Amino acid sequence: MPDLPDSPSGLATRISAAARAELEAVLPSASLLQEGPDLERYARDETEELRFPPALVALPRDAREVAAVLRWATRHRVPVTPQGARTGLSGGALAVHGGLALSLERLDRIRRWSPADMTVEVEAGVVTARLQEEAEARGLYYPPDPASRDTCQLGGNIAEDSAGPHSCKYGTTRRYVLGLEAVLAGGEVVRTGSANRKDVTGYNLTQLLVGSEGTLAVVTAATLRLLRRPAAAVVMAFSFASLERAARAVVEIFAAGVEPAACELMEGRALELVGRTLPLPEPLRGAEAFVLLELDGDSPAAVLAAASAVGHLFPAAEPLVAEDPRSRRKLWQIRSQIGEAVKAFSAYKEVDAVVPRTRLADLVGRARLAAAAAGLECVCYGHAGDGNLHVNLLRGGLDPAGWEASRDRAESELVAAVLDLGGAVSGEHGIGWTQRRHLERALTPETLDLMRRVKAAFDPLGILNPGKVFP
Please give the pLDDT value at position 6. Answer: 56
Q: Work out the average pLDDT over 393-410.
A: 96
Q: Has residue 442 been placed in a domain?
A: no
Long-range CB pairs of 323-331, under 8 A, 24+ apart, other chains included = 323/234, 327/235, 328/233, 328/234, 328/235, 328/294, 331/235, 331/237, 331/281, 331/292
Res. 197: pLDDT tops 50: yes
Q: Has residue 440 been placed in a domain?
A: no
Do residues 217 and 237 both lie within one domain? no
Percent of residues, the chain, with pLDDT higher than 90: 94
The strand pairing partners of 348, in sequence order, are 394
CATH code, domain with 414: 3.30.70.2740
The SS3 call for residue 100 is strand
Please give the pLDDT value at position 115. Answer: 97
pLDDT band at 2 (very low <50, low <70, confident <90, very high): very low
Phi, psi for residue 454 in degrees, rounded to 5: -65, -45
Q: Has residue 447 been placed in a domain?
A: no
Quote the number of domains for the chain: 4
Average pLDDT, the chain: 96
Under 8 Å between Cβ of 279 and 327: no
Query: Dihedral angle at the C-alpha atoms of 402, 403, 406, 407, nearest 10 degrees?
Result: -160
pLDDT band at 7 (very low <50, low <70, confident <90, very high): low
Please give the pLDDT value at position 10. Answer: 83
Burial of 9 (0-12, 13-18, 19+ CB in 10 A): exposed
Please give the pLDDT value at position 1. Answer: 42
Percent of residues, the chain, with pLDDT higher than 70: 98
Do residues 85 and 133 both lie within one domain? no
Which of 173, 168, 170 minimizes the C-alpha distance to 292? 168
Cα torsion angle, 403, 405, 409, 412, sign: positive
What is the rounded CA–CA span in Å between residue 229 and residue 212? 29
Which of 194, 223, 231, 219 minimizes the C-alpha distance to 114? 223
What is the rounded CA–CA span in Å between residue 157 and residue 431? 14
Res. 200: pLDDT tops 70: yes
Cα torsion angle, 81, 86, 90, 96, sign: positive
Do residues 256 and 194 both lie within one domain? no
Do residues 223 and 247 both lie within one domain? no
Do residues 296 and 351 both lie within one domain? no
42: amino acid identity, one letter? Y
What is the rounded CA–CA span in Å between residue 312 and residue 18? 72
Give tens-digit pLDDT for 13-26.
899 999 999 999 99
Do residues 202 and 304 both lie within one domain? no
Q: Work out the average pLDDT over 50-63.
A: 97
DSSP single-letter state for residue 213: T
Q: Has residue 208 been placed in a domain?
A: yes
Please give the pLDDT value at position 223. Answer: 99
Give tens-digit pLDDT for 301-360.
999 999 999 999 998 888 999 999 999 999 999 999 999 999 999 999 999 999 999 999
Give tens-digit pLDDT for 412-445.
999 999 999 999 999 999 999 999 999 999 999 9
Res. 54: pLDDT tops 90: yes
pLDDT band at 121 (very low <50, low <70, confident <90, very high): very high
Out of 174, 209, 228, a domain closes at 228
Q: Has residue 399 been placed in a domain?
A: yes
The parent domain of residue 364 ranges over: 346-426
Please give the pLDDT value at position 13. Answer: 84
* Pairing between β-strand 388-394 and β-strand 348-354 as defined by DSSP bridges: antiparallel
Q: Indicate the pTM of the whole model.
A: 0.95
What is the rounded CA–CA span in Å between residue 249 and residue 266? 13
CATH code, domain with 119: 3.30.465.10
How distant, in Å, are the alpha carbons of 36, 82, 186, 347, 399 from that of 50?
17, 17, 29, 12, 17
What is the rounded CA–CA span in Å between residue 26 and residue 399? 47
More confident residue, 10 or 270: 270
Res. 295: pLDDT tops 70: yes
Out of 210, 228, 246, a domain closes at 228
Q: Work out the average pLDDT over 381-407.
A: 97
pLDDT band at 286 (very low <50, low <70, confident <90, very high): confident
Res. 126: pLDDT tops 50: yes
Do residues 247 and 319 both lie within one domain? yes
Do residues 182 and 252 both lie within one domain? no
CATH code, domain with 51: 3.30.43.10
Helix, strand, coil percentages, rounded to 5, for the chain? 40, 20, 40
Residue 141, sorted as left (phi over 0), alpha (psi -120 to 50) or beta, turns out to be beta
Please give the pLDDT value at position 78. Answer: 98
pLDDT band at 3 (very low <50, low <70, confident <90, very high): very low
Taking residue 77's Cβ as centre, other Cβ atoms within 10 Å add up to 17
Under 8 Å between Cβ of 176 and 158: no
The strand pairing partners of 227, in sequence order, are 141
Q: Work out the average pLDDT over 270-281.
A: 94
Which of 274, 295, 270, 283 minimizes the C-alpha distance to 319? 283
* Pairing between β-strand 320-322 and β-strand 232-240 as defined by DSSP bridges: antiparallel
What is the rounded CA–CA span in Å between residue 186 and residue 188? 6
Do residues 204 and 243 both lie within one domain? no
Do residues 114 and 213 both lie within one domain? yes
